[in-house]
Amino acid sequence: MLSLVALLAVIGIVLWAGLQAHPPEPPEDSLRIPWWVLAMAFAATEVWVFHIQVGRESKSISISEIPFMLAFFYSLPEDLLIARVVGPALVILLYRRQTLLKSGFNMALIFADTTVALLVFRVIGGGSTADGAREWTGAVLACVAAMAVDLIVLSIVIRWYDGKPPVSGVRSLASGLGLAAASALIGLVPLVTLRGGAEHAAVPLIASGVMLMFGYRAYASLSDRHSSLEQLFSFSRELSVAPETDDVLPSVLAQARELLRGERAEVLRFGDPAVTVWRFDGTQVSTLDADLANDCGEAARALLQETDAVLVRGDDSAGRHYLRLSGADEAVLAPLSYDGQTVGAIAVHDRLGEVRGFSASDVQLLQTIASHASVALHNEMLIGRLRHDALHDTLTGLPNRAQLTAKANLALADLRMGAGTMALMIMDLNGFKVVNDTLGHHVGDDLLRQVASRLTSAAPRGVTVARLGGDEFAVLMTAQATEKPEEIALGLLESLEETFVVEEERLHLSGAAGIALAPDHGRSVSDLLKRADIAMYAAKNGAEPCVVYRSDIDLNDASLLSLMGELREAISAGEVDIEVEPLIDLSRNRIVSTEALVRWHHPVRGTLRPSLFLPLAERNGLIVPLTTLVLDRAVAACASWREAGLDIGISVNLSARSLLDTMLPQTVADALDRWGLPSNRLTLEITETIVLSDADRALGLLADLRRLGVRLSLDDFGTGYSSLTHLSELPIQQLKIDRSFVSQVQDSPRDRAIVGAVADLARNLDLEVVAEGIEKASTAALLHDLGCQVGQGHFFAESMAPELLPLWVQTRDPGWTPSGPPRGHLLRVVR
C-alpha cells in the first residue's frame, strides 16, 4: 500500500515536472478564480460523494468535474493543483478523519489524477484557454482521464484486499467514466454560458442529462446484479445444507421471485402424465388447477425445446400462448434438468414495479438458480419416495409398522387430551403358512395382496389397516370409528370368509384377532401391541376368532406359573431348539457367520419367540439350562456345516444372568470339545446391561471366555447407556448396531450420522461392525458405504432351521457345493 502511495506521488511529480517544462500562457480572461475558492469547491465535491458498491465494500468517488472544468479555463495550473490537493485534504483529515495511510493514499491519488488531467488538457486542448471545440473536448477528456485513473487504481486496491477481481470491473469502469463525462459536460454549462451566451448551454446540458441517465441505468443494473449474485450464493449455500427439508420448494420459489424481482415465481414439474405447478406470489404457495397446469406445462415445454433459459416477451405465437395461459406480460423461463433430462421448469413473471423489464442477465440468473435448484428439488422428490417406502409395506402398499406406530402415537396423544378411545388389533391368518409352503411364494404374495385389499375395503372410517410382516396385520381404531372394536374386528374377519381365487386355486382362509384397548391395557404403542398379540394367541388357541385382552390370558399373570413349569419340561423334552440367521459380508455378499436364536415349539401355542419366554426363564433360573442347550445346539450345527465344507461361524446370545454363572466358561469349553469346533468359530453376544450390572465380575468372566479363544460381540449397540468411549474397555471384537438405527438409516440424517460415527470409531478400535435388521437392499448398500462390514436381517434371510442353511447357501451361491461325507445326510434332513 505504501509503495502504491509512493508510486502515485512519483507519477504526479514526474507529470507535474513535465508540465512545468512548457508552461502555458496564463488565462487571458479577466476572470481569474483564486486557488482558495477552487479549494472550497473541491472540498464541497469531496463531501458530496458518489458511492459505488464493489465487493463487500462501498467505495466513494467524488464528482469534481465541475470545478475542474472552470479551473481549466479560469485559473493557473499551479492554483488548480494546490486547490485540488488542499480542498479534499481538509475534508479527509478534518471531516472524515481517515487513518493516516488511507488519507495518504487518497491525497496521492488526487495528486496523480490532477496531473494526468492537466496533461490531457494540455495535449488535447492544446494548452490554450481560448474557447472552441478543441479546448472543450480536451477539458472533458481530461476529466474522464482523471476518473479513469481513480477507478483503475481503486480496482487494483480492491483486488489486493479481496483477492479477487471486483465484480464486472469493466462495466463499473465504463459506467464510472460515463458519469465523469456527464458531470464534465455539466461543468461545461456555466462555461458555455459565460463565453458563448445562454442559448448554447442547452447542448451540453441535454448531452449530460442523457449520459447521466445511461450512467444511472448502467450503475443500477450493476448493483442489482451484484446483490443478486450475493443472494444467489447464500441461496445455494442454503440448499446445500438443507437438501432434505420439506422447504426446498418454497425456498426455491421465494428466492427465484426475489432475485429476479418478479411478481410471481412458479415451479413446474413435468410429471408423467400430469404436470404440477406451484406458484408463489409473495405471500403464499399455491398449486394451479390440474387442467391449467397441464396446459402451462405443455406451453413451457414447447418454449424450452432444446434451449436453456428464455425470455418470453410474446413476440412469437408460442410465447404469447404461454403468457396468456399464465396471465403474465413477460416471463423468464428456465428448465430444471436432472441427468440430462428436462424434468420441469422455473418461471418468473412480470418485473415488480419497475419500468425496466427482464434482461439477458435475468435469464442467465434464472438459469443458474435452476441448475442449483434441480439437484435439491430432485433430492426432495427422491426423499419423498423413500419416505413413502419407509412408511408402506412394499408387497401390499398398506401402511407398515412404522406408520402404524406413528399414527397410534398421535391417537394416544389425543387420548391424553381427553378425546375418545383407541384400540389396536393384531390379526394373523390361519392356514397361510400351508398355502405358502405348498403353492409357493408367488401365490402367497398374491393372496396377501388380496387379503390387504379386502381388509381395507371392509375397514370403516377412522380405521387404519397395516401389515406388520408375514401374515400378520394390525388395525388401529381411533375415536372416529363409530362401531365397537370387537364389531369392527368381526367385520374384518368376515371379509375374509369368501373364497379367494389365486391362479385358479380356490383358497379358504380365516383369521384370528386380538384386541387391546387404550388406556386400560397400556399407554404405549408397544405395550398395546404386546397385549393385542397375547390376545391374538388366545384367539388362535381358543374357540373365539377374536379376543379382547384380559389379564387371565396373559402369561405374566395366571398362566405364568404353568408356562414356567412347562418350560422346564420343554427343555428336557426337546421342544426348545434353535434357528439360525445368516450374517453376510457386505462387500463380498457372502455368508460369513450365523446367529443362533432360540425357539420353543410349543405343542399348543405354536412356535414361541424368545421375547415371550426369555423373561420368564431369566426370573426363574431356567436361563442357565437354556443357555447350555442353545450353546450345545449352536456348536453342533456349526461343526456339522464345517464338516460339510461350509466353514462359517456362529453367534450365541447371552443373557445378563448368564454372566453371573461362574460355570459358563466351562460350559462353553465343554461344548466346543464335544463337537470339535475351533473356539474362534464361536462368538458370544452380550449387551451393555451386562457390563453395567456387575462390572467387575462380568469383566472377569469375559476375560476368562476370551482366554478360551471365543470371540465376544456387543449386541444391540446404541440402545443402552454406555458411551462410545466405554467400548475400548470391553474385551470385544465385534459391535452390532441395533436394528432401530438400521431401520431409519435411510431417512433419518441423524441415524445415518450415528451409524457412520459408530462405524468409524469401531474401525479405529479394530472392531468388526455388524448392522442387524436389514430389510432392504438399499439399506444394505448404504450401510456398507457407511463402513459396516457385515449385515444381517430379513433382506438376506429370516431365521431357519440349522439343517436348512447349507441348502440356503447353495441356492444363493450356486458355486458352493457341500463337500465331504455329510452331504447325503444334510440333503436327507432337508427333504
Which residues make up the interface to ligand C2E (CB under 6 A)? 581, 597-598, 609-611, 614, 630, 653-655, 715-716, 772-775, 793-794, 799
Instruction: Identify what 154 binds: ligand C2E, Ca ion, none; CB under 5 to 8 Å per kind.
Output: none
Minimal distance, residue 736 CB to Ca ion, in Å: 5
Nearer to ligand C2E, 597 or 804 (CB): 597
Residue number of the CB atom closest to ligand C2E: 793
Q: Which residues contact 625 (CB under 8 A, 6 or more apart)?
A: 571
Cβ atoms of residues 149 and 61 within 8 Å: no
CB 516 within 8 A of CB 424: yes
Cβ proximity of 307 and 332 under 8 Å: no
Residue 423 interaction partner, one of Ca ion, ligand C2E, none, beta carbon < 5-8 Å per kind: none
CB of 653 to Ca ion, least distance (A): 5
Cβ-based nearer residue to ligand C2E, 62 or 734:
734
789 binds, among ligand C2E, Ca ion, none (CB under 5 to 8 A by kind): none
For the CB of residue 446, give the shortest distance to ligand C2E in the complex, in Å. 23
CA–CA distance, 737 with 783 (Å, rounded to integer): 10
Q: How far is the CB of 766 from ligand C2E (least distance, A)?
A: 23
Q: How far is the CB of 555 from ligand C2E (least distance, A)?
A: 15
Q: Binding partner of residue 610 among ligand C2E, Ca ion, none, CB under 5 to 8 Å per kind?
A: ligand C2E
Which residue, 252 or 684, is less far from ligand C2E as judged by CB?
A: 684
- Exposure string of 92-122, with b = 16+ CB inside 10 Å and e = fewer, is beeebeeeeeebbbbbbbbbbbbbbbbbbbb
CA distance 422 to 615: 28
**Rounded least distance, CB 637 to ligand C2E, Å:** 13
Nearer to Ca ion, 597 or 724 (CB): 597
User: Omega before 335 cis (within 30°)?
Assistant: no
- In the complex, the smallest distance separating the C-beta of residue 534 from ligand C2E, rounded to whole angstroms, is 15
Interaction partner, residue 256 (ligand C2E, Ca ion, none; CB < 5-8 Å by kind): none
User: Which residue, 116 or 698, has its beta carbon nearer to Ca ion?
Assistant: 698
Please report, as a single letter, which amino acid is at residue 68: F
Q: CB 717 → Ca ion: shortest distance, Å?
A: 8
Nearer to Ca ion, 350 or 716 (CB): 716
- Tell the smallest beta-carbon distance from residue 656 to ligand C2E (Å): 9
Q: Containing H/E element for 502?
A: strand 500-502
* Min separation Cβ 452 and Ca ion, Å: 30
Output the DSSP codes for 755-824. Answer: HHHHHHHHHHTT-EEEE----SHHHHHHHHHHT--EE-STTT---B-GGGHHHHHHHH-TT----STHHH
Nearer to ligand C2E by Cβ, of 454 and 467: the residue is 467
The three cell numbers of residue 79 are 492554483
Smallest separation (angstroms) from ligand C2E to the CB of 687: 7
Angle 204-210-211 from CA coordinates, rounded to 5°: 85
If the CB atoms of residues 352 and 624 are measured against ligand C2E, the closer one turns out to be 624
What number of residues does the chain have? 831
Query: If you ran DSSP here, which 8-state letter would residue 553 be given?
Result: G
Q: What is the DSSP string of 647-715?
A: --EEEEE--TGGGG-TTHHHHHHHHHHHHT--GGGEEEEE-HHHHHHSHHHHHHHHHHHHHHT-EEEEE
Q: Which does 99 bind (CB under 5 to 8 A by kind): ligand C2E, Ca ion, none?
A: none
For residue 337, which of 297, 370, 382, 384 has the smallest C-alpha distance?
370
Binding interface with Ca ion (CB under 5 A): 653, 685, 715-716, 772
Contact between 641 and 648 under an 8 Å Cβ cutoff? The reply is yes
Closer CB to ligand C2E, 303 or 580, in the complex: 580
Q: State how far the Cα of 742 lies from the Cα of 746, in Å rounded to an integer.
A: 8
Least CB distance from residue 536 to ligand C2E, whole Å?
16
Which of 77, 72, 153 lies closest to 110 in space, CA to CA? 153
> Between residues 169 and 610, which has the closer beta carbon with respect to ligand C2E?
610
Residue 289: helix, strand or coil by DSSP?
coil
Taking Cα atoms as reference points, which of 601, 663, 677 lies closest to residue 628? 663
Of 84, 100, 101, which Cα lies nearest the Cα of 44? 84
Give which of Ca ion, ligand C2E, none residue 584 binds (C-beta under 5 to 8 Å, depending on kind): none
Quote the least distance from Cβ 677 to Ca ion, whole Å: 19
Question: Can you read off the three cell numbers belonging to residue 806?
Answer: 447349507
User: Cα separation of 759 and 785, whole Å?
Assistant: 10
Query: Backbone phi, then psi, for 547, in 5-degree steps?
Result: -125, 135
Closer residue to ligand C2E, CB minimum distance, 252 or 583: 583
- Nearer Cβ to Ca ion, position 376 or 714? 714
598 interface partner picked from Ca ion, ligand C2E, none, CB below 5 to 8 A per type: ligand C2E
Partner from ligand C2E, Ca ion, none contacting 793, C-beta within 5 to 8 A by type: ligand C2E
What is the C-alpha separation between 506 and 555, in angstroms, rounded?
38
What's the closest the beta carbon of residue 689 comes to Ca ion, in angstroms? 13
Judged by beta carbon, residue 33 or residue 584, the one nearer ligand C2E is: 584
| Cβ-based nearer residue to ligand C2E, 459 or 701 | 701
Which residues on adjacent β-strands are paired with residue 280?
Answer: 265, 285
Q: Which does 499 bind (CB under 5 to 8 A by kind): Ca ion, ligand C2E, none?
A: none
Strands 649-653, 510-518: pairing is unpaired
Cβ proximity to ligand C2E, 378 vs 599, nearer residue? 599
- Binder of residue 529, out of ligand C2E, Ca ion, none (CB less than 5 to 8 A by kind): none
C-alpha closest to that of 352 among 323, 329, 324: 329
* Minimum distance of ligand C2E from residue 743's CB (angstroms): 8
630 binds, among ligand C2E, Ca ion, none (CB under 5 to 8 A by kind): ligand C2E
* For ligand C2E, the closer CB: 322 or 796: 796
d(CA 812, CA 816): 9
Query: Is 658 in contact with 629 (CB distance < 8 Å)?
Result: no
Answer with the entry of Ca ion, ligand C2E, none that 775 interacts with (C-beta below 5 to 8 A by kind).
Answer: ligand C2E
Q: Which residues pair with 769 in a beta bridge?
A: 735
Name the amino acid, one letter, at 208.
Answer: S
Per partner kind, with CB cut-offs from 5 to 8 A, the member of ligand C2E, Ca ion, none near residue 611 is ligand C2E
Q: Min. distance of Cβ 421 from ligand C2E in angstroms?
A: 29
Least distance to ligand C2E, CB of residue 223, Å: 59
Contact 225, 361 (CB under 8 A): yes
β-pairing, 510-518 with 546-548?
parallel
Q: Which is nearer to ligand C2E, 183 or 713 (CB)?
A: 713
